[in-house]
Amino acid sequence: MSTTTTLSRPLYADVVDLDRYPIHELGSERGRALIDSCRQELAKDGCCTLEGFIKPEAVARMVALANQLESKAWVSDRPHNVYFEPFDETVEPDHPLAFQVRSAKHGIAYDYIPEDAPLRRLYESDDLTRFIGAVLERPVLYRSADPLDAFQITLFKPGEELGWHYDRSEFSVTVMYQKAEKGGDFEYVPALRTKQDECYDEVKKVLHGDRSRIKVQSGEPGTLAFFHGNCAMHRVTPVEGETPRINSVLTYGEHEDMRLNDLTSELFYGRTSPR
C-alpha cells in the first residue's frame, strides 16, 4: 500500500498530526525544517523523539485493537543474550556472549493486524518510509519483508520486560500507545558498539549495572521515536502495576529482503515465517 505526496489527502491523515509533522510534504520549507530538526536531535541524543506524532484518536484505536487481539499474542518468557544468538559456552559466564538477560512479553504478529489498522496503514505508506530514510540520510530504505515482525504490537503485562539487546535491523522505529502504571521505561545506550568493534568491555559494564551512559526515552502515548538499534543497546524495564505498556515496533532496513533469524522469530512469535 502506498501514498502520494500530492495535495490529495494522505491515506493516513487521520493517524498523523500533519500540521506539526508534515511528512507528506518533505520538499516544502516545513518538511525540510522537520528533517533538519530530527537529524540534529538524532546526532545529539542518539535518538529522535517526536511527541504527539500520532493523533489521540488513532492511539485510542490502537490500544483497543491491542486488547482485542490479545488472545492471538504469543506469550514469551525466555532468557537470551544481547545478540539473540545461541549462548557461547566457551567464554566466561559474565561475557556478553554468555550473559543471560530475560525477555517476557505478549507479541502480536504483523499477519494478525488488520490492513485498516491506523498504524498499519501508516507503516505501509511510502511517505513514512521516505521520512525515516531522509532523517537517517539513507538514499534507499525498505520496509521489512518479515511477515511476522515487519510491524507488530507488543503488550508488556505486570512483571514482563524486554532484556538488554541489539536489534538485527540497522535502525529501530517505535510508537508508544500506553504507559505502564510503573516501570516499563525504555532505556538505551547510544553507539555502544560499532560495525568494527563489539566493545565487549563497555557492554559488560552496562550489563553489570553501570548507568553512566544510559538514556531514557519519552514514553508519552502518541510518541514516534527512532534510533540506531543495531549499535545502541536497549531494553524495556520490568512493568509494575495493572496497566500494561503497549507499543509497536516498525522495522526498516537497507536491504530489501530483511527478516528475523529463526531463533528470534521463535522467541517472540512462537513460529518462523516461510522463506
| pLDDT value of residue 275 | 64
pLDDT value at residue 262: 86
Is 36 inside any structural domain?
A: yes
Does residue 79 form part of some domain? yes
**What are the pLDDT digits (tens) for 139-148?**
999 999 899 9
Would you state the pLDDT for residue 169?
77
Helix (H, G, I), strand (E, B) or coil at 104: strand
Instruction: Give domain status of residue 42, yes or no.
Output: yes
In a domain, 92, yes or no: yes
Within a domain: 5: no
Task: Give the Cα separation of 48 and 216 in Å (integer).
Answer: 12
pLDDT of residue 120: 98
- Domain span at 196: 29-269
Question: What pLDDT score was predicted for residue 257?
Answer: 86
In a domain, 178, yes or no: yes
Beta partners for 175? 224, 248
Q: What pLDDT is attached to residue 1?
A: 45
Name the stretches of the chain with pLDDT < 70: 1-7, 275
Identify the burial level of 99 via C-beta atoms within 10 angstroms of its C-beta, where 0-12 means exposed, 13-18 middle and 19 or more buried: buried
Residue 4: the pLDDT is: 44
Residues 200-256 have pLDDT tens digits of: 999 999 999 999 999 998 789 999 999 988 999 999 999 999 999 999 999 988 888
Which CATH number do you get for residue 201?
A: 2.60.120.620
Name the phi and psi angles at 216, rounded to 5.
-120, 125
Q: Is residue 21 part of a domain?
A: no
In a domain, 19, yes or no: no
Euclidean distance between CA atoms 16 and 4, whole angstroms: 15
pTM comes to: 0.91
Structural domains in the chain (count): 1
Chain CA centroid to CA 165, Å: 12
